[in-house]
Structure 1
Amino acid sequence: MVDAHQTFVIVGGGLAGAKAAETLRSEGFTGRVILICDEREHPYERPPLSKGYLTGRDARDSVFVHKPDWYARADVELHLGQPAVHLDRAAKSVRLGDGTVVHYDKLLLATGAEPRRLDIPGTGLAGVHHLRRLAHAERLRGVLSSLGRDNGHLVIAGAGWIGLEVAAAARGYGAEVTVVEPEPTPLHTVLGPELGQLFTDLHSEHGVRFHFGARLTEIAGHDGMVLAARTDDGEEHPAHAVLAAIGAASRTALAEAAGLALVDRADGGGVAVDASLRTSDPDVYAAGDVAAAEHPWLGTRLRVEHWANALNEGPAAARAMLGAEVSYDRVPYFFSDQYDVGMEYSGYAPPGSYDQVVCRGDVGKREFIAFWLSEGRLLAGMNVNVWDVTGPIQRLIRAGARVDPEALADPGVPLDTLAAS
């Protein structure tokens, strides 16, 4: 039975928002819980959009966080298809697109991120796509299937995680794929040149063509349809569809208009929150892709656009809203599946932060673990087709102790032994 002594409002119907609502109820909150979603879909998870659902392996229903009837059973009030258009912190209210005004005692912003757009001629053509929402994935899934049947060409701008996962899906359908990337390897700013080449080789073996050191400058078409993609070095690639996979920007417009503290885009962007996920307003919190949080043991502010972060930050923010002592300090984690290669990455090793990369296992067979170190301390680890090692890797990162690179590279030395030392 819900009473009206308090109202907690969550703006954002993704994984972070849905898990926050679930946690409020599981922690015993009996006030009103209002979840505002600008999409008409019930809250869903995004990884399947570029993985299982896009490839056709998983059914549409598999993407949803909860079954549709869960929200009524949990007394969570859903506002589907309603964007939050104004936040009045003084009145502690949120106005929705249809004019409805919702009052709150505590507010969670889980507004996520949106795909960056290509600022070049031709982006209005019918064959130009982005991938962020379920509707995008549904449309793209049909496009990839058609391209495969007709020997069509897909050009992807960007060799990040989304670009590579879509490339793998497209090749699975039989489409021709060209990836245009300004850096010298895929995932260059995430994995560095040492591991980026692994993904070049993997995709090349599956028929993907790469055009490195270039950017798209124009998408050419006829009668509203895509015909080709041109790059700044004068090349032209045949294309029947183009995917813009050049990153995402946090959706901070609501927070910015309300005067909440933000992080500069050059530093990653997002709504600035402390380790308890509280914003500059003590009654407003932020979680998921939009939140740039102070990380206690990393000693820096991070905005992490990955599933695990949304999965864990939403519940952490909910507990903080309930008055619990929260210090969100999880090791950053993400995963990817491409062809027959699965990988998990734990830690934080931005360019320039490490001085050594050590591998254990068989890199040639793509069954190995890579470690990024700085002065002998482990910053990050990526296991490729090697499983059940995330726990030891994360403990080793947290330990912060120097490790022997030779022992780290030796599969005969248990990782837990190194972590314990």
Structure 2
Amino acid sequence: MTFDLATRASELTGSVIDSSTELLAQQRHDIVRFAMGAPSEDLIPMEQLDKLFSHMPTGRYDYGESAGEPALREQILALSEQMGNPTSDDRLVVTNGAMQGLDLAFKLLVNPGDLVIVENPTYPNGYQTARSYEADVVSAPVDSHGLVVDSLREIVARSGKTPKVIYTIPNFQNPTGVTLSRERKTQLLALAEEWGSVIVEDDPYGMLRFDGTDVPSFSSLGGHNPLVFRIQTFSKLIAPGLRVGWIDVDPELQKLAVNAKQAMDTCTNAPNQLVVAKFLQQGHLAPHLDRLLPLYKERKAAMNQALSETFGESIRMTDPEGGFFLWATFMAEREQLDTQELFPAALEEGVAYIPGVAFTADNSQHNALRLCFATSSPDRIREGVSRLERAVLRVQSV
């Protein structure tokens, strides 16, 4: 049967990253997993979470408020204050992970044909969500200091229209791991004011700094500028399967987001919200992060060292100060290596990653790949890089 689909259906291409979960589950041999952006199971506070789930309050299986459980919103307010981003309850909506926050942003802000500027490379679910609302998505370059804000005027001039949304992942960016500098954040806020553009600030990793100095958020720099739509999640901080995130937006947008959410899922999973609220209320988050961050720092260093020792001058890596990922680009004699074509050989050798092209709206970055260091121990990281080398040698010898 041929369906008469909505025009936007052609833009529902799915996520290469999320599809890799199913692909990896089909493998029957040992795989070093550099693909998914998630902590290893031993780094999830399972004992504490299980205990909290076993002591849930009355009403836990009822419908909840669309804006989120009051107990959780109270804890998010306290956490925001602690992190230097004080906010208010009329700005918050609890979401089904950060992805629902992205969907709400583009649903509320974008009309068909509106210009949306994204980073290159960037999180594919971000630009794919924009396209699902029929946005005109255009890429801007990223360097070691994050989004190259100086490139935006030329991009806008070429497009002939000002952006409705500028989508950025400012802290330990997915996939590169770089952080947008304070100077560039200030520049971007000024451009947003000039153009009337909304900055969608996607910040899953900001609390996962293990080196360097924090950079203020757009929200703190802009004094709750209504042109900042901030998205955060507990997926990377506590456990991805909880699917609990939140948005922090202008109160006028908050009301519309609640209306939109009521047409989506009515409310975010109430038991999971209550567990996260108790986890925060009982003071578990700080010691949990104190345990995680030195391990992530060690794993990042192990990955950088293994890649450098194995591939030498033929590879260039970012050196993130936090988060989950680093970005590797093949250079010199290996510059023509296509990491998408390399992937089947790598999987056979027992290592998984995400090819660079998956993170681009313009089908570029073919010689790059994203590697997650958060999931594997240093020994497993070294083994995974060794397997990657075997795959590269196999492909290049053909």
TM-score by length of 2: 0.31
Greater percentage in helix: 2
Structure 1 or 2, whichever has the larger Rg, is 1
Greater percentage in strand: 1
TM-score by length of 1: 0.30
